[in-house]
Amino acid sequence: MSGGGPGNRTVWATAAIAAVLWFVTFSLDFSSFWIKISLSAAFLALLSVALQPPRQRPRIRRKDWILGILSAAVLWGIFYAGKQASTQLFPFAEGQIGAIYGKGEGFSRIGVFFLLLLVTGPCEEIYWRGFLQKNLMARHGALKGWLLATALYAGVHLWSLNFMLIGAAGVAGAFWGLLYWRWKRLAPVIVSHSIWSAFVFSVVPIP
């Protein structure tokens, strides 16, 4: 990558680390799921900044808030339509979707809301789009880099053994990846991811 960024092996090594962290999050039975996913995302974000420090201090402008909120609403609509279709097509869909929401059992909804809004959402975007997709697009071109980043984001969710969650991660990852590709700014994507996940899992679940 031009500009003295991390080498190709380093970029792929971070993807391997992400896979291990998501394995720990989904497969090892200790602590709360929401604590584990927040710590995993925060570690990847810190790793991203250490390997590729931002050239300037990140700012969230008024336009970023507007774009982020509107895109989060659009994604909610996409998931609403997707749920209606999937529950008609797949007999197991309802149960698997319920299992996704069941991850929050035993943890306060307020706690989940603020972890997703302030930690998990921003940190996931800093790594998955702001570091991984950015570097993959620089090396392999915009389309291939977006596809690779989306596949990796969905792939680490294989540890959940939940077809609906893997599919949801693929759709959401592709959506936020497209926003990053189109807008070439991370701030509105952070807003979109953070608001969408916080509200979907705590305030307005997909009915």
Residue-wise pLDDT tens digits, 160-181: 999 999 999 999 999 999 999 9
Least confident of 97-101, 103-107, 190-194: 103-107
Separation of CA 90 from chain center: 24
The mean pLDDT value for 82-91 works out to 92
Q: Is 58 among the domain residues?
A: yes
Q: Is 2 among the domain residues?
A: no
**137 closest CA partner among 123, 152, 124:** 152
pLDDT score recorded for residue 49: 96
Contact by Cβ (8 Å): 60, 185? no
Strand ranges, E, within the chain: none
Higher pLDDT: 106 or 68? It is: 68
103: DSSP letter: T
Q: Is 166 among the domain residues?
A: yes
> How many residues are listed for the chain in this entry?
207
Q: Is 1 among the domain residues?
A: no
Tokens 């097509």 belong to 89
In Å, what is the CA distance from 52 to each residue of 32, 48, 119, 120, 129?
30, 6, 20, 20, 13
- Rounded distance between C-alpha atoms, residue 146 and residue 151, angstroms: 9
What is the per-residue burial (b if ≥16 Cβ within 10 Å, else e) of 138-150? Answer: eeeeeeebbbbbb
Tell me which amino acid residue 32 is.
S
- Rounded distance between C-alpha atoms, residue 127 and residue 120, angstroms: 11
Q: Is 167 among the domain residues?
A: yes
Tokens 């800093």 belong to 126
- Rounded distance between C-alpha atoms, residue 143 and residue 147, angstroms: 6
Q: Is 115 among the domain residues?
A: yes
pLDDT score recorded for residue 2: 43
Total domain count, the chain:
1
Q: Which residue range is the domain that position 33 belongs to?
A: 8-202
The answer to whether residue 126 scores a pLDDT higher than 90 is: yes
List of residues 6+ apart from 156 with CB closer than 8 A: 18, 19, 21, 22, 169
pLDDT digits (tens, 9 = 90+) for 34-83: 999 999 999 999 999 999 998 877 789 999 999 999 999 999 999 999 99
Q: Is 51 among the domain residues?
A: yes
pLDDT score recorded for residue 76: 97
pLDDT score recorded for residue 199: 96
Q: Is 99 among the domain residues?
A: yes
